[in-house]
Amino acid sequence: MATLGWNLTQSTDVSKREGDKDSLFFEEGVPDPDARVFVVSFNQRNRLRLIDAPDLLPFVEEAVNQYWPKGVEERNEMNGCMELKLKGNPWYPIGADAVHSKLLLCKVVANFRSIGYKLYASIDLSYGTEGQDLETWAFRKIWSDLQYVPTACESCGQFSQDPDYLKEDEVDLGLPTPLPIDSDSE
């Protein structure tokens, strides 16, 4: 759509029916013949897939190594896509895992931003039941400003409302740091 001059303005769930999917709204703009978009898909309880993202797996692995203490169970290639199966259940976390999973995702966003990709949309494409479907993230190359942009995550879940849900010493709340920009990765 971007190559034709249409820019995404919003993805939204306009239906509450079981199995529904998001609708995407676009506005007309300037065509971008060099538009680069890739997708990060969250699957099952512990899988992350990179779709149309050549050579970007190290940026995800660095985030996993830093913020998901349980690590990677296995790496697979599926239909040209790279998939990481993480140990544990990062998409259905309990206790400290809830914080670690958010930090992991924040670091993934920061790492992609450090090489010029911005989170463009978060879209529900899956056929899941209420509370069990996962989003798919689309990232788009932003050609102008490639400098580091601080990235943060706020989650309004149980652990942010219940002071007894998570003890302070269960997780390191360090802020993400960017990967160095490598001009060869463009």
pLDDT tens-digit map of 153-165: 666 554 444 444 4
Distance CA 154, CA 95 (A): 16
The H-or-E segment that residue 39 falls in is strand 37-43
Could you give the CA distance from residue 114 to residue 132 in angstroms, rounded to a whole number? 31
User: Hey, what are 112's tokens?
Assistant: 């992609």
Find out whether 4 and 29 touch, Cβ atoms under 8 Å.
no
The string of pLDDT tens digits covering residues 103-133 is 999 999 999 998 889 888 887 766 655 555 6
- Strand partners for 28: 6
> For 7-21, 40-54, 59-73, 97-111, which range has the lowest pLDDT when averaged over its residues?
7-21
Arithmetic mean of pLDDT, 7-33: 71
> Is the pTM of the predicted complex or chain greater than 0.75?
no
The edge-to-edge listing of strands for the beta sheet with 37-43 is 72-78, 81-86, 47-51, 37-43, 135-141, 117-124
